[in-house]
Amino acid sequence: MTSRLRVAVAAPLEPALCDLIVELEPRIDLFVDHALLPPMRHPADFSGDPSFRRTPSQQRAYEYLLDRADALYGIPDVDPAALARAVRSNPSLRWVHTMAAGGGGQVRAAELTGAELERVVFTTSAGVHGDSLAEFAVFGVFAGAKHLPRLLRQQREREWSGRWLMSQVSDQTVLVLGLGGIGSAVAAKLSALGATVIATSRSGASAPGVCRTVRPDDVRSVLPEVSAVVSTLPGTDATHHLVGSEFLAALTPGTTVVNVGRGTVIDEAALLRELGTGRVGFAALDVFEIEPLPSDSPLWSHPRVLVSPHTAALDAREDRRIAELFAENARRLLDGETPRNVVDTVEFY
């Protein structure tokens, strides 16, 4: 990198946050034309209004901005093909920051060559969503423990039943799959509520609130102990359908399953089977194998499934947190340090 960093804004970004990035790292030269970016419909809407279209001259102007930059704030149009075009058209490009925590999947889809992956550093926004997703995970664990589906059904049917026992989260053992930023936040919150937290960790490292870590290959040894499973894992070849038939069959009846990672981690067909047997008592899902969730998916109507349309991470402060993270990583690159959240270009997470 040179003593300054030319950054093209490739994703919607409020003018105030453009100013903030330069204020936080004055060595950035920011190139942005808001007329070339789709309007945001809500905070963190980095795809923007789907009806937005550029004229041919606007598209040329947009690509001209991208092709003279050292770094991109966002994947152009959140489109892997557009990312590949930008990388190949701009030999000066050295860094692309993705808005998503799981931006590695978008990088993989661009099908870049080994040389291109070596030339360009890709970073993600992992960590900025940790608290929001952790709160949804805690909500899911509580919803299972307190029998939310039964309460809603009885209220809807105006049924005043006899009393029944509910579980105490403080008495439960919860397995957290993945101990990155989201998993660590989940573990801390659940532990503070009195739950016993076991977590998977590839490195063996732990985090505050975790009483025990296990390697992913050994996870089935602890499944009979747990009352709830929270997945925070990224979508990689190694995690694909990790929560599948064998995993779910090892759980005790009534276990709660929560997913705030990536939808491909859970085999939805296997999950539905175990919901039918009662081995899974309740599932709170913010992510799915196919998104949007198809209208004919049985998950929509299952009485013990809570469907959240990949919205649990959304927070009014998300845009600012990403801008701050970007400025910090720009500083690191300019100072010769390793940026945060570099994408692993082997497993793409």
Residue corresponding to tokens 């809807």? 156
User: Which residues belong to the active site?
Assistant: 262, 310
Reading the chain (349 residues) residue by residue, the pLDDT tens digits are 579 999 999 999 999 999 999 999 999 999 999 999 999 999 889 999 999 999 999 999 999 999 999 999 999 999 999 999 999 999 999 999 999 888 999 999 999 999 999 999 999 999 899 999 999 999 999 999 999 999 999 999 999 999 999 999 999 999 999 999 999 999 999 999 999 999 999 999 999 999 999 999 999 999 999 999 999 999 999 999 999 999 999 999 999 999 999 999 999 999 999 999 999 999 999 999 999 999 999 999 999 999 999 999 998 899 999 999 999 999 999 999 999 999 999 999 8
Which uninterrupted H or E stretch holds 271? helix 268-277
pLDDT of residue 1: 52
CA distance 12 to 82: 15
CA distance 106 to 78: 8
Secondary structure (3-state) at 300: coil
C-alpha to C-alpha distances, 339 to 107, 318, 327, 330, 332, nearest whole angstrom: 17, 19, 10, 8, 6
**How many CA atoms does the CB half-sphere of 145 hold within 13 Å?**
20
Rounded to a whole number of angstroms, the distance between the first and last alpha carbons of the chain is 24
pLDDT of residue 102: 85
pLDDT of residue 101: 85
182-211: burial string, b at 16+ Cβ within 10 Å, e else: bbbbbbbbbbebebbbbbbbeeeebbebbe
pLDDT of residue 275: 98
Structure token pair of residue 118: 């070596």
Q: Phi first, then psi: give them for residue 76, nearest 5 degrees.
A: -55, 120
Torsion (CA) 311, 313, 316, 320 in degrees, nearest 10 = -140
pLDDT of residue 159: 97
